[in-house]
Amino acid sequence: MKRSAALLLFSLFIFSLHGQGQGKLERKEFKSGSLVNNPAGESSNRMVSVYLPPGYDKTSQRYPVIYFLHGFSTTDKDMTDWFQIQTLMDSAIAAGHIRPVIVVFPNSDTKYRGSFYTNSSMGNWADFITKDLVNWVDQQYRTLASASNRVLTGHSMGGNGSLKLAMQNPDVFSMVYALSPAVLNWHGDFNLNNPTFKRLYKLQADPNLKNAVDSIYKEDNWQSFYSGVYAAMGIAYTPDPSRKAFPVALPVTYIGDSAVYHPDRIQKWEDNFPYFMIDNHLVQLKKLKAIKLDWGRNEDFSHIPVTALAFSKKLEAYGIEHEAEEYIGDHGNKIGGFQGRFFTEVLPFFERNWSQ
């Protein structure tokens, strides 16, 4: 019965789309001034995928904008392909899940497969989003160019980045929805005793190391994945350009098999964790019109359910209005598609709060 109802609903979507026309997905390149000549050698020419709603080319109407931040080791194109974004958004608009909007997917991938949407001496990835990208989109497209008409969402690393950038920039974005936000704080698989730190330290100490990226991803396994995550976070949070092959001051180093913890570096990492950022961004958080985060009960990454709930509880303790929800799912199986949370939860959340 449910399957038949879903097929009928999908057929109605398609029938409606033929009547109102289809939106358009385009991918363009633009130059980010914030990333020019960064010491990490990342290209300042960035790709961005943009969904334009049905009728965009036939009117002079201006539109609100949803910005979506992708996760670690993915790109803008990975997300639009996964979501089948043109069909999904056309259907969402036809069904009244969301008003006609522009949706923007920037590519924040790096050599280490993730920027963590943070400004550092190795590249200003927060400014890339909040300044360069927003200005470029407002100049390139017919947007409603105000914070009240810009909202931010993202998955995993992008969920982390969306919370971080929203609380730092309530003058740019008015609402945020974080899907399965990663590394909000230490816990479980994400901890200072993770053997990944030893692997990275040994790589860094290798006198023959010429390309850290190749060495980190030499093996296609979870060890390499976590090594990449920690390396990318180190470049964002404790960069050290003097270390040419691997420009990171690690928060944990080793003497033999004994870990050496560096409190100053650990503090810099924690200063960038959204959980700890709440304390110094209360005024900014209260300016946001709506905040929501969610996570899967059966997460692949054990730290996410615990730290997401802790993040929500901390907001609650400070009296910050928000929504938080645990659902039955893992890190990615309930995100895309017509049954996924971007379609069923994220878009209606923004529409509901825009209408208030």
Going by C-beta distance under 8 Å and a sequence separation of 6 or more, which residues neighbour residue 229?
72, 114, 183, 196
pLDDT digits (tens, 9 = 90+) for 116-135: 999 999 999 999 999 999 99
Give the pLDDT score at 24: 97
CA distances from 207 to 202, 203, 211, 243 (A): 10, 9, 11, 12
Asked whether residue 164 falls in the same domain as residue 91, the answer is yes
Going by C-beta distance under 8 Å and a sequence separation of 6 or more, which residues neighbour residue 63?
53, 56, 100, 101, 102, 141, 142, 143, 144
Asked whether residue 208 falls in the same domain as residue 143, the answer is no
User: Is 4 part of a structural domain of the chain?
Assistant: no
Q: Where residue 20 falls among pLDDT bands split at 50, 70, 90?
A: low
pLDDT digits (tens, 9 = 90+) for 156-191: 999 999 999 999 999 999 999 999 999 999 999 999
pLDDT at 142 over 50: yes
Give the pLDDT score at 15: 44
CATH assignment at residue 320: 3.40.50.1820
Give the amino acid at 232: A
Q: What is the largest CA-CA distance in the chain?
A: 69
What is the Cα–Cα distance from 160 to 304, expressed in whole angstroms?
10
Going by C-beta distance under 8 Å and a sequence separation of 6 or more, which residues neighbour residue 109?
70, 73, 74, 75, 115
Asked whether residue 338 falls in the same domain as residue 324, the answer is yes
Q: Which of 37-41, 84-88, 264-268, 324-328 has the lowest mean pLDDT?
A: 37-41
Q: Which of 235, 60, 29, 52 is nearest to 132 (CA)?
A: 29
What is the Cα–Cα distance from 273 to 275, expressed in whole angstroms?
5
User: Is 83 part of a structural domain of the chain?
Assistant: yes
pLDDT at 219 over 60: yes
State the chain's mean pLDDT as an integer: 93
Across the strands, what pairs with 28? 48
Q: What DSSP state is assigned to residue 129? A: I
Token pair, residue 64, equals 């609100």
Q: Which of 60-74, 187-201, 219-233 has the lowest mean pLDDT?
A: 219-233
Query: In which domain, by residue range, is 231 found?
Result: 196-270
Mean pLDDT, range 128-156, rounded to an integer: 98
Going by C-beta distance under 8 Å and a sequence separation of 6 or more, which residues neighbour residue 180?
155, 156, 159, 294, 295, 296, 299, 304, 308, 331, 332, 335
Asked whether residue 179 falls in the same domain as residue 201, the answer is no
More confident residue, 47 or 17: 47
Side-chain half-sphere of 164: how many Cα atoms within 13 Å?
Answer: 30
Q: Where residue 11 falls among pLDDT bands split at 50, 70, 90?
A: very low
Give the pLDDT score at 221: 76
Asked whether residue 155 falls in the same domain as residue 295, the answer is yes
Share of the chain above pLDDT 90, in %: 86
